């Protein structure tokens, strides 16, 4: 995994953990993993977290395993990622501002038509 991917993966995990009001130790316990390992993943310092670890983190955070797998460079057959990880994967050099603009526009359109822009798998 490239450093930029590792940083984005860590940011996603940390942001969701904070949204849920969990400490890093609580998440590590729920995901049945070492606190230090989870801390390194959140800081973008873990180059290749195993799919088993990512799946447990995704389950504990109630987020898409596919999204985490895509950000980590893994694939998940039979499932599609959410828009942001897809765009990041497809257009690796897209500026963050453009990514944010596209994501916001997509979420606005989806909500307008009665869909949840962030469904849980």
Domains, the chain, with CATH or none: 3-112 (1.10.260.40)
Question: 0.75 cut: is pTM over it?
Answer: no
Tokens 């694939």 -> residue:
75
Which pLDDT score, from 0 to 100, does residue 4 have?
82
Which pLDDT score, from 0 to 100, does residue 76 have?
52
Which pLDDT score, from 0 to 100, does residue 67 have?
80
Helical ranges in the chain per DSSP H: 3-19, 24-30, 35-42, 51-61, 65-72, 83-90, 96-112
């Amino acid at each position: 995994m490239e450093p930029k991917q590792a940083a984005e993966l860590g940011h996603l995990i940390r942001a969701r953990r904070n949204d849920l009001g969990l400490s890093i130790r609580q998440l590590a316990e729920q995901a049945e993993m070492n606190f230090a390992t989870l801390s390194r993943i959140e800081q973008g310092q873990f180059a290749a977290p195993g799919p088993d670890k990512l799946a447990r983190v995704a389950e504990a955070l109630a987020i898409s395993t596919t999204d985490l797998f895509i950000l980590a460079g893994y694939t998940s057959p039979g499932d599609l990622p959410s828009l942001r990880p897809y765009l990041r994967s497809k257009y690796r050099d897209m500026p963050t501002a453009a990514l944010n603009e596209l994501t916001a526009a997509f979420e606005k359109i989806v909500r307008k038509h009665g869909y949840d822009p962030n469904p849980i798998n």
